[in-house]
Amino acid sequence: MSEVCGSSADIHLAMTEFRDCLLDTGLIHLPVQGERFSWHNCSEGDRSLWKRLDRLLVNDVWLSQWPNSYYHCLNARTSDHSPLVIRGDTATHTVSMFRFDNYLTMSSDFHSISAEYLEASHRRDRYRLLGGERRREFLDLRYLRPWARHVVTPDESMELVQSVTREEIKDAFFDIAEDKAPGRMATRPVSTKLLGRFSPISCCNVLYKVITKIIVQRLRSVLDKMISPSQNAFVPGRSIGDNILLAQEMFSGYNRQGLPMRCALKVDLRKAYDTVEWDFLSAVLHLFGFPDIFIGWIEECVTTPMFSVCINGNPHGFFKGSRGLRQGDPMSPFLFVLIMEVLQLMQQLIDQNEGFSFHWRCKEIGLFQLCFADDLLLFCKADVASVRIFRHGLDEFAKLSGLHANPQKSQLILSRSAQPMREHLLAALQFQEGTFPSGRLQLIKSVLMSLNVYWAMAFILPKGVIRAVEKRMRHFLWKGNSAVGYPKSSIWVQWIAHTHLRHKSVWTVDVKGGSWGWRKLLRLRSALLPYIEFKVGNGELFSIWHDPWHSLGTLIRRFPSGPSRTNIPIAAKLSTVIVDGDWSWPPITDMECIEILHLLPTIHNGNDSILWRGGEFTTTVAYGIFRTPGPIVGWYPLLSGPCKIPRFSFVLWLAILGKLSTMDKPWLSHLGGVCVLCGREVETHEHLFFRCSYSRRCIRDLKEAVRFSWPNRAWGEDITWASTRWKGRHIVQAAYRALLSAIVYHIWRERNQEFFSTLSARAPLLLGLR
């Protein structure tokens, strides 16, 4: 409804401030009938002005008491303001008669169904009526505390609840990215009609984010001690890449016959963040020993959101939430990690269950679960008993937490040797059967696009990724160890040490076996060696025979029979020949091996370490080792600078190079070559960007919406024009580059959807411009 009519009608800024005030105070307009405006300036002609100055605002408490109330705006009489008359709740309440259908008792299942319903109703009512501390006692997880990795100590409790400092507030303010903006209710498919496909994205204001970032900063100080190695997402000092590498190792050899029967459960949690029960979250925080004051801060943030539903651009209703973590809240990922740790603790008891069998090569390190945020991988032997134990644990966890496995998206993946158990395992789980990507569509969705985009993020070089890579590489190159520079607590390191190394050195272990990633890593050893040096310290880390600490290189390769000729065990560390900071080798009489005693390196104080020969290590230098540098191309500015989205930029890069698999490629010539978007001309890069009627429509709508200029000549000429016009770090130029990469990405995605499936999001809906 318009707020003003007549002269001086521009009140947009004031109304924006008024709307923000309503959102902050939790007030909404009561429905109105009658006159449109409530005030008139009593003038005529061009000076006449009508405004909606008078209104009634209520909160959710009012609406819960009088849900059918409204007010009437009457005609103005003696005043310039219209009188407002509120109308009460006109709903009538009638007394219903009690009726019972006797024929129901004739059913043989009547008594059992009635008893089951009454018992469930009683449990539900008891749970709902319990409140405060009594309800927390009812949902008590402290029985899991003996299996917890860490519980908050008294000293840590004092640090968590200490007074907030000015420095903390400043750091929290400056930690908010400059391009952050409120989200909106969005859907995954463009034209969904199911309410369950909507995902609420919370709009957290700056003050709220500052508060939660302060809480998060304190929470991070203890999180690493509490979370199991199987969880790496959002845990400070860990990388989800560890779990990705380990998953590759676990699935290595699944297609080979003759190996032990094994299986993996890929579990998708249905709307994970949105369904977390608040009482369960409170019980989790008490389980890990967080102080009551700190828990109160978190509960105040989590349990106070109010929601509106936006219909046709207008918000309707204002109701209180009852569960869930807000997506967009800086605190939510860290709380969710703590919640998933409880599942780890509950599943950790599985080795006490009779009948459970570990996955091949997993029993020694106790590995049965990998967590990727809200996605799980569970591993076990392919037998019904083990699978049922997993299913029971997931069901019990769901009853407490509200996090249920989605059977439509959860999958059972079997090794080739486990195929005879297929029907029995699927019946026990009620999951879908998963397969390794093989078809063209599945390959594109699951492997080609995701892997290229994931790893391309490091090579398109966002600053945050560069800093993370440099930190990891410095740790490897300066504090390296036999675990390839990763901390020994990493579950991937434990797997590699147990499965591939087995007391061997990473520098001499055989390349055969293992996943593709492990084999590629080993093949890089010879390329890396010229750029690093081994600094000998106390000798506890370096192996005498297997590590290349000596100027002669790896001694076991130079002297294959050295251990027997020198009587020094093959597994000996350098510490066995170092005494009080000096070399103390046993007498070596073999003429060949005596060369070892020549050119011994200097012994330094401290631990053994690995150094970068060129001084300070940088990712740019390391990246240059493994690639041949080429000339800087003219279109480089289109892929650099701020405001870029890696997956968009990656597709634009392929489009500029002409590497997208368009229909004019020889290997696709048998498909006819006609563009699937317009069905008229041969599909080439030149046609797709932007000669096709569909892509021209996208460009036209973009021009109308944001004044986006594009010459639309030949594709190569247009790229040259854009590279010249849109270079630099100004926000306008960066926005134009981002728009170009976004529209190229969406057109290519739409082309693939049209080609590989019946799903199609046409231009206006795709771009969201109309």
Cα-based distances in Å from 725 to 50, 635, 638, 652, 732: 48, 11, 10, 17, 11
* pLDDT above 80 for 701: yes
Which position has the higher pLDDT, 618 or 528? 528
pLDDT band at 319 (very low <50, low <70, confident <90, very high): confident
pLDDT for the residue 128: 42
> Shortest CA distance to 486 belongs to which of 501, 335, 536, 348?
501
Q: What is the dihedral of CA 253, 258, 261, 264, to 10 degrees?
A: 20
Owning domain of residue 274: 147-433
- Residue type at 43? S
* pLDDT above 70 for 47: yes
> Average per-residue pLDDT in the chain?
79
In which residue are the tokens 């009812």 written? 138
pLDDT for the residue 394: 92
Listing DSSP states for 1-63 in one string gives --SEEESS---HHHHHHHHHHHHHHT-EEPPEEE-S-SEE-S--GGG-EEE-----EE-HHHH
Instruction: Give the DSSP H/E element, type plus range, for residue 412.
Output: strand 411-414
pLDDT for the residue 448: 36
* pLDDT above 80 for 383: yes
Instruction: Give the DSSP H/E element, type plus range, for residue 262.
Output: strand 262-268
Q: How many angstroms separate the CA atoms of 132 and 154, rounded? A: 24
pLDDT for the residue 12: 61
Which position has the higher pLDDT, 626 or 350? 626
* pLDDT above 50 for 720: yes
In this structure, are strands 369-372 and 57-58 parallel, antiparallel, or unpaired? unpaired
Best mean pLDDT range from 4-13, 488-497, 564-573, 726-735: 564-573
For 132: left if phi > 0, alpha if psi spans -120 to 50, otherwise beta; the answer is left
pLDDT for the residue 490: 76
Which position has the higher pLDDT, 444 or 343? 343
Q: Are 53 and 35 in contact (CB under 8 A)?
A: no
Cα-based distances in Å from 730 to 635, 658, 710: 17, 28, 19
- Domain boundary (625, 660, 690) is at 625
Q: Are 643 and 460 in contact (CB under 8 A)?
A: no
- Give the number of domains in the chain: 4
Q: How many angstroms separate the CA atoms of 125 and 122, rounded? A: 5
Q: Which range among 100-114, 246-260, 660-674 shows the weakest confidence by mean pLDDT? A: 100-114
Q: Which range among 128-142, 649-663, 703-717, 720-734 shows the weakest confidence by mean pLDDT? A: 128-142
Residue 563: other Cβ atoms inside 10 A: 18
pLDDT for the residue 350: 62
- List 315's β-bridge partners, or say none: 310
Burial of 204 (0-12, 13-18, 19+ CB in 10 A): buried
Which position has the higher pLDDT, 592 or 132? 592
pLDDT tens track for 151-174 = 999 999 999 999 999 999 988 888
- Domain boundary (597, 625, 653) is at 625
H, E, C per residue of 565-579: HHCCCCCCEHHHHEE
Once rounded to an integer, what is the mean pLDDT over residues 628-636?
83
Q: Are residues 663 and 525 in the same domain?
A: no
Q: Are residues 420 and 558 in the same domain?
A: no
What proportion of the chain, given as a percentage, has pLDDT over 70? 79
Q: Are residues 383 and 284 in the same domain?
A: yes
Q: What is the dihedral of CA 446, 448, 450, 455, to 10 degrees?
A: 150
In which residue are the tokens 């998206």 written? 409
pLDDT for the residue 173: 85
141 is a domain residue = no
Which position has the higher pLDDT, 672 or 595? 595
Q: Hey, what are 287's tokens?
A: 């389980």
Question: CA 200 from chain center: how many Å?
Answer: 16
pLDDT for the residue 181: 45
pLDDT band at 101 (very low <50, low <70, confident <90, very high): low
Q: Hey, what are 265's tokens?
A: 């459960």
pLDDT band at 50 (very low <50, low <70, confident <90, very high): confident
Once rounded to an integer, what is the mean pLDDT over residues 485-492?
62
pLDDT for the residue 492: 79
* pLDDT above 80 for 583: yes
pLDDT for the residue 103: 62
Which position has the higher pLDDT, 282 or 442? 282
677 is a domain residue = yes
Q: Are residues 247 and 368 in the same domain?
A: yes
pLDDT for the residue 576: 92
Q: Are residues 254 and 400 in the same domain?
A: yes
130 is a domain residue = no
Q: Are residues 654 and 760 in the same domain?
A: yes
* pLDDT above 70 for 237: yes
* pLDDT above 90 for 11: no
Q: Are residues 373 and 464 in the same domain?
A: no
Once rounded to an integer, what is the mean pLDDT over residues 173-198?
55
CA angle 118/121/124 to nearest 5° reads: 150
pLDDT for the residue 89: 56
pLDDT band at 188 (very low <50, low <70, confident <90, very high): very low
Sequence-separated (6 or more) residues with CB below 8 Å from residue 269: 374, 375, 376, 403, 404, 405, 406
pLDDT for the residue 768: 46
* pLDDT above 50 for 104: yes
Cα-based distances in Å from 358 to 150, 237, 252: 25, 28, 17
Q: Hey, what are 210's tokens?
A: 């500052």
* pLDDT above 70 for 125: no
What proportion of the chain, given as a percentage, has pLDDT over 90? 28
Once rounded to an integer, what is the mean pLDDT over residues 316-321?
74
Q: How many residues does the chain have?
A: 770
Sequence-separated (6 or more) residues with CB below 8 Å from residue 370: 230, 243, 246, 247, 250, 376, 377, 379, 491
10 is a domain residue = yes
Best mean pLDDT range from 209-213, 610-614, 640-644, 759-763: 209-213
* pLDDT above 50 for 449: no
Once rounded to an integer, what is the mean pLDDT over residues 758-762?
42
pLDDT tens track for 361-382 = 888 888 899 988 778 999 999 9
> Shortest CA distance to 449 belongs to which of 184, 696, 187, 753?
753
pLDDT for the residue 292: 93
443 is a domain residue = no
pLDDT band at 5 (very low <50, low <70, confident <90, very high): confident
pLDDT for the residue 590: 82
Question: CA 693 from chain center: how many Å?
Answer: 37
pLDDT for the residue 575: 92
Residue 196: other Cβ atoms inside 10 A: 8
pLDDT band at 479 (very low <50, low <70, confident <90, very high): very low
For 601: left if phi > 0, alpha if psi spans -120 to 50, otherwise beta; the answer is beta
Sequence-separated (6 or more) residues with CB below 8 Å from residue 415: 253, 254, 255, 256, 259, 261, 262, 263, 382
Listing DSSP states for 300-344 in one string gives HHHS--EEEEEETTEEEEEEE--S---TT-TTHHHHHHHHHHHHH
142 is a domain residue = no
Q: Are residues 478 and 413 in the same domain?
A: no
Q: Alpha helices, DSSP H only, in 364-421?
A: 384-401
Q: Are 666 and 482 in contact (CB under 8 A)?
A: no
pLDDT for the residue 631: 84
Which position has the higher pLDDT, 432 or 672? 432
pLDDT for the residue 372: 82
pLDDT for the residue 192: 53
Best mean pLDDT range from 96-110, 289-303, 755-769: 289-303
Q: Hey, what are 571's tokens?
A: 């597994």
pLDDT tens track for 52-66 = 888 888 888 888 788
Q: How many angstroms separate the CA atoms of 128 and 668, rounded? A: 61
Q: Are residues 244 and 266 in the same domain?
A: yes
Once rounded to an integer, what is the mean pLDDT over residues 511-516?
78
Q: Are residues 406 and 427 in the same domain?
A: yes
118 is a domain residue = no
Q: Are 286 and 141 in contact (CB under 8 A)?
A: yes
Q: Which range among 67-81, 355-369, 420-434 shows the weakest confidence by mean pLDDT? A: 67-81
Q: Which range among 257-266, 399-408, 506-515 shows the weakest confidence by mean pLDDT? A: 506-515
Q: Are residues 233 and 261 in the same domain?
A: yes
Sequence-separated (6 or more) residues with CB below 8 Å from residue 648: 738, 741, 742, 744, 745
Q: How many angstroms separate the CA atoms of 486 and 458, rounded? A: 19
pLDDT for the residue 487: 53
- Domain boundary (67, 87, 107) is at 87
* pLDDT above 50 for 569: yes
- List 533's β-bridge partners, or say none: 611
Q: Are residues 469 and 611 in the same domain?
A: yes
pLDDT for the residue 96: 44
Residue 79: other Cβ atoms inside 10 A: 10
113 is a domain residue = no
> Shortest CA distance to 370 belongs to which of 490, 272, 469, 486?
490
